[in-house]
Chain A
Amino acid sequence: MGILDEKFLPPDDMPEFHRPFWEALKAHRLEAQECENGHLRFIPTEICPRCGSQDWTWRRLSGRGSIYTFTVVHRAPTPAYQADAPYVVAHVELEEGIRVIGNVTGCEPGAVHIGMPVEVAFEDVSERWTLYSFTPREAA
């Protein structure tokens, strides 16, 4: 199967410190690393960029946030993605202060705007992988 045939899945050979993030997704939890000094970070790294600590625990995130920036993709990378176009790719600023990239579903692309409140949604795409997206929510 070539790169053009199906939507991409995460690679099987990712470094060990990435795996807990994907395991948590299978349980429909969005998690990020937190060092012993309370610094949250995403995407996973082996060292805290703020204090140099190499110890961490995984902290569950609220999944609530707002759109920091976004684009509506009209020309997708492959035919499998093109079938969904136009679709939204957004950088979401979570309540905990870190940003996560994902699609925004559950509304028309034209309704998406910077500052829009969103929350995480999970989709089990295979036995092995659960992915996430964001949907509009009522502001608190």
Chain B
Amino acid sequence: MASFRRRKAVIAGVHMTEQGDLSGASPQQVYWQVVKGAVADAGLQLSDVDGLIGPAPEGLGLRGTLPGAAMADLLGRPLRFQAYTSVGAASTAAGIGPGIWAIENGVADVVILPTVSAGKGSGYTSADRGAAIAHMAKLGTPYEWLWGTTRVADHAVIAQRHMHQYGTTSEQLAEVAVAQRHGATLHPLSVMGRKGEITVDDVLASRMVAEPLHLLDSCIVNQGAGCIVVAAEDRLERARPRIRMIGYGQSHAYLDPNHLPDLTTFHGDVASDTAFGVAGIGRDEIDVISISDHFTINVIVGLEEAGFCKKGEGGPFVEGGALRIDGRLPTNTAGGYLSCTHAANSGTFGLIELVEQLRGSAGARQVTDAKLGYIHGVGGVFQSHFAAVLARD
């Protein structure tokens, strides 16, 4: 019997649907649309899929708790592998680690990582914006939400402390939004790209949401779907640059903010150092990155957590357009959660953009000769992290 060990895995397919208001479509319809799109991008068929990271399409009964079994019904044959990873909005993208593990160990051949937000929804996925914001405000404990906290406020206190401790400025925060909007104007599916470029002054003049964070310091709220396909190399026929994951790590840092001694340091370095250690390369070799960017402060803190600058130096680091596509460290080149899409498990779209960049298929957003990429995905308020280093053969 053939040994499947040491089999090589490739990030073989990516696809994203229209982003924006998908409340008129059913989540099931969009799920299969995005899965078929990503499988086709890999040059494979739906009948090749034998693994799933994340949920099955919504439905009755035990679909939610037994997603692999649900998929067996829907695909008409047994599924060989299903897993979840729990890194909040980066959960699906963080599944790249277990997905590749499954392939390299012969547990599965073709694993899909879909994420979908469509239809009317309920709770914090509700298409009713007011209800969604209210439910999101109650994600933490009563020791937080009794006082009228919001997701913006949860990050605003971090920004305020970062400014106090390190001298970070509102202008530096705004630079992040400006650089990412530029990328969004060059992405055909981005939500905010069609609104055009913005300036630092535009960000500072936008409505204050929770001081010091303005509306344009904040991610958008929208629906959409994305999917990634990881496959065994020997199953792929299509000739195209092979994108591989060469390093991976996680870090689960804290849950309650009162338990964290310093509200500017979130142990994301544990994930990042693990990934770079496995990859055996340095940060200075990386050509393009994705960092979870619920708010502008997340990118500044994220660059520090991921080790691209020292703690406290994220503000100066982003000055002068450093994060633009033509900058020193192109970051969130499709526009990120701020300007491209913040749908469903939105870390997925950061991973999709890295794959496009490393393939050389990012069109007008293409970073010249991008060979090595890094993604730092965050769940919650820097509560959980995953890191991955990607490389083109």
A interface residues with partner B (beta carbon < 8 Å): 3-4, 7-11, 14, 41-43, 49, 68-78, 81, 84, 87, 89-91, 98-103, 114, 131, 133
- B207 contacts which chain A residues (CB < 8 A)? 74-75
Is the C-beta of B160 less than 8 angstroms from some C-beta in chain A? yes
The answer to whether residues A43 and B143 also contact, given A4-B130, A77-B150 and a CB cut-off of 8 A, is yes
Q: How far is the CA of A90 from the CA of B144 in the complex (A)?
A: 10
Residues of A within 8 A of B136 (CB): 77
Q: Find B146's partner among A8, A14, A74, A98 (CB 8 Å cutoff).
A: A8
Contact of A91 among B146, B152, B157 (CB under 8 A): B157
Q: Which of B38-46, B88-96, B110-118, B208-216 contacts A (4 or more CB under 8 A)?
A: B208-216
Shortest distance from the beta carbon of A64 to any chain B beta carbon, whole Å: 17
Contact A43 B160, beta carbon cutoff 8 Å: no
Question: From DSSP, what is the main secondary structure of chain B's interface residues?
Answer: helix
Residues of A within 8 A of B146 (CB): 7-10, 131
Query: Is the CB of B3 closer than 8 A to any CB of chain A?
Result: no
- In this assembly, does B131 line the interface, its C-beta being within 8 Å of a C-beta of chain A? yes
Residues on B with beta carbons closer than 8 Å to the beta carbon of A73? 148-150, 152-153, 156, 210
Interface residues of B in 237-261 (CB under 8 A from A): 256-259
28 contacts between A and B (CB under 8 A): A3-B135, A4-B130, A4-B131, A7-B148, A8-B145, A42-B143, A68-B263, A69-B164, A69-B263, A70-B160, A71-B157, A71-B212, A72-B211, A73-B150, A73-B152, A73-B210, A74-B210, A74-B211, A76-B150, A77-B134, A77-B148, A84-B148, A99-B258, A100-B143, A101-B147, A103-B147, A103-B148, A114-B161
Known: A11-B142, A69-B161, A89-B147. A101 touches B133 (CB 8 A): no
The 7 closest A-B pairs by CB, nearest first: A77-B137, A71-B156, A69-B161, A81-B148, A72-B211, A69-B157, A71-B210
Binding site for A on B (CB under 8 A): 130-131, 133-138, 141-150, 152-153, 156-158, 160-161, 164, 207-213, 256-259, 263
- Among B133, B135, B210, contact of A72 (Cβ-Cβ < 8 Å): B210
Are B134 and A69 interface neighbours, CB within 8 A? no
Q: How many A-B residue contacts, CB cutoff 8 Å?
A: 112
Q: A69-B263, A77-B133 are in contact. List 11 more A-B contacts (CB 8 A).
A: A41-B259, A70-B160, A75-B209, A78-B134, A84-B148, A89-B147, A89-B149, A91-B263, A99-B258, A101-B258, A114-B161
Instruction: Tell me if B142 and A10 are in contact (CB < 8 A).
Output: yes
Instruction: Give the chain A neighbours of B149 by CB distance below 8 A.
Output: 73, 77, 89, 101
Query: How distant is the Cα of A123 from the Cα of B137 in the complex, in angstroms?
Result: 22
A8 with B138: CB separation less than 8 A:
yes
Q: Is the CB of A70 within 8 A of B157?
A: yes
Chain A residues near B143: list those with CB within 8 A.
42-43, 100-101
- Residues on A with beta carbons closer than 8 Å to the beta carbon of B150: 73, 75-77
Looking at A9, A98, A101, the one whose CB has the most chain B CB atoms below 10 A away is A101
Which residues of chain A come closer than 8 Å to B211, judged between CB atoms?
Answer: 71-72, 74
- Residue contact B156 to A100, C-beta cutoff 8 Å: no
Looking across the interface, which residue of chain A has its beta carbon closest to that of B209? A75
How many angstroms between the C-alpha atoms of A98 and B260 in the bound complex? 10
B-side contacts of A3, CB under 8 Å:
131, 134-135, 138
CB distance from A104 to the nearest CB of B (A): 10
Chain B nearest Cβ from A72, distance in angstroms: 4
A11 to B141, CA, bound (A): 10
* Bound-state Cα–Cα, A95 to B375, Å: 40
Could you tell me if A43 and B141 are in contact, using CB atoms closer than 8 angstroms?
Answer: yes
Nearest to B141 among chain A residues (CB) is A43
Closest B residue to A9 by beta carbon equals B146
In whole angstroms, how far apart are the Cα atoms of A78 and B258 in the complex? 24
A87: shortest Cβ distance to chain B, in Å? 6
Give bound CA distance, A68 to B157, whole Å: 9
- Give the interface centre of A68, A70, A71 by most chain B CB atoms within 10 Å: A71
* Chain A residues closer than 8 Å to B257, beta-carbon distance: 91, 99, 101
| Nearest-CB residue, chain B, relative to A133 | B147
Task: Find chain A residues with CB under 8 A from B147 CB.
Answer: 89, 101-103, 133
Query: Which A residues are CB-close (under 8 A) to B145?
Result: 8, 77
Residues of A within 8 A of B130 (CB): 4, 78
Min CB distance, B210 to chain A, in Å?
Answer: 5
Q: State how many angstroms separate the Cβ of B168 from the closest Cβ of chain A.
A: 13
Q: Is the Cβ of A43 less than 8 Å from the Cβ of B256?
A: yes
User: Using Cβ atoms and an 8 Å threshold, which residues of chain A touch B137?
Assistant: 77-78
Taking the closest CB of chain A, its distance from the CB of B249, in whole angstroms, is 23
User: Which residue on A lies nearest to B160, using beta carbons?
Assistant: A69
* A24–B38 CA distance with the chains assembled, in angstroms: 56
Cβ distance A100 to chain B, nearest Cβ, rounded Å: 7
| Residues of A with C-beta under 8 A to B212 | 71
Q: How far is the CB of A18 from chain B (nearest CB, A)?
A: 9
A11 neighbours in B (Cβ, 8 Å): 142
Cross-chain contact B148 with A74 (CB below 8 angstroms): no
